[in-house]
Amino acid sequence: MTDEQAEAYGRFAEEPTRPDLERFFQALSRNRCLSPLVEGAVAPEL
């Protein structure tokens, strides 16, 4: 990894837009709803 890559690691290449952040957090929320299915628990009613 170059020094430039190491410095940029974990950072956005550019400022995320509000719609980008909303999509990210909606996807995160959906994944949390599905995680009990992966662990074999009963699915929550939506």
CA 11-13-15 angle, to 5 degrees, is 90
Side chain identity, residue 28 = L
Q: What percent of the chain has pLDDT over 90?
A: 11
* 36 in Cβ contact with 43 (< 8 Å): yes
- Compute the distance between CA of residue 19 and CA of residue 21 in angstroms, rounded to an integer: 5
Q: What is the pTM of this model?
A: 0.39
Domain boundaries, the chain: 14-46
* 30 in Cβ contact with 23 (< 8 Å): no
How confident is residue 40, by pLDDT bands cut at 50, 70 and 90? low
pLDDT at 13: 83
